[in-house]
Amino acid sequence: MKIGATTRTIAIVTVIVSAILGSSNLLGDSAPDDRDPPARSAARVDDRPGSGGYDPDAVRGNRHRGSADDRPAPRATPSSGARGRQQADGEPAPQADSAPKPDVPGGVPPQQAGPPLPAFFNQQVVVGPGKPPLLPDKEGPFGSRLTTGTLQVALTFDDGPDPKYTPEVLGLLDEYGVKATFCLVGEMAAQFPDLVREIVDKGHTLCNHTWNHDVELGTKTKAVIRSDLARTNDAIHAAVPDAKISYFRHPGGAWTQAAVDVAKEFGMSSLHWTVDTQDWTKPGAKVIEKTLATDTALGSIVLMHDAGGEREGTVTALKAILPELEKRFALAALPPGVDEPRLHGRDLPLHRGQR
């Protein structure tokens, strides 16, 4: 059959049109691969002007170990009863190289946001003459403090002073220029007054930790609690008459309303903690070090021990972790408070601390 000129022309045009349409389809299929996905082209949240580099909720005590979505289940922090409940069975130990990230724009850890803050506390936490230096914390047991109320981290040491371990801890703190808070047991302070003087002379803050670490003290009458705290303060003042004792920590974290109320009568803030190293169980230096590296965040109050037993693990862990903590955070002693001016402002400067 002969093909006419018209038919041949139509066939050629059809082939050309089909080729053009085919090329267009190929180009259309490849277009999505050449474009950035929407998430890439959108502006980063942490690049916005005024975006913060820390989580203010962590400072207020709402989140101490980062976002709930990216951290392992935290160890239980005792709000009453004996301190130091162990991790749940099967819960993995925290790893130093998997520190939780705070829930902040862009996931920037707070310790990486800008240069370290000065190692002194915001004076706004001092609430006035003759009053405890820290306001009650509504999230703490019976209003005891879970956090510092500032961006600084407070290292605290319990059960001392001890003739072997307290000097070692003081030496390490001196080496890095770090001030801390020491919660003293009255009978130990009476036995080692020179160590009490050394603690004060080096600029550390003092805390009353009862006469003989009576975990059940808070369940007793207010008169008994009052006598115990007064006896402990007297032992500290026998070593350093003008020492400011602005904090009280109940043994074992076994807080009661009565204990908190009596401490307030003495002008002392009740001091709980954010990070429990559980070093009193002697888990080993590496475990203590990992807990410090993983759990410490802005505003943390860190619980350790410089006495009450063998504390080689604590000293070894502190020696290893202090350089890292000092780089990540501003470490400072808790503020000792403000004295009332004797001559209505003429006797200046004001002396910080409780009378």
Q: Which residues carry out catalysis?
A: 158, 305
Q: Which of 38, 48, 151 is nearest to 105 (CA)?
A: 48
Contact between 45 and 97 under an 8 Å Cβ cutoff? The reply is no
CA-CA-CA-CA dihedral for 280, 281, 283, 286, to nearest 10: -20
In this structure, the number of other CB atoms found within 10 A of the CB of residue 129 comes to 13
- Degrees (nearest 5) of the Cα angle 104, 108, 111? 105
Q: Which of 184, 285, 277 is nearest to 236 (CA)?
A: 184
Helices H / strands E in the chain, number of each: 10, 7
Strand partners, 247: 207, 269
Strand partners, 145: 271
Residue type (1 letter), 351: H
Work out the angle between the directed axes of helices 193-201 and 165-175 (0-180°, nearest 10).
Answer: 10
Structure tokens at 84: 């130091």
Phi, psi of 345, deg, nearest 5: 95, -10
Contact between 270 and 249 under an 8 Å Cβ cutoff? The reply is yes
Q: Which of 257, 311, 253 is nearest to 280 (CA)?
A: 311
Where b means 16+ CB within 10 Å and e means fewer, 240-268 reads beebbbbbbbbbbbbbbebbbebbbebbb
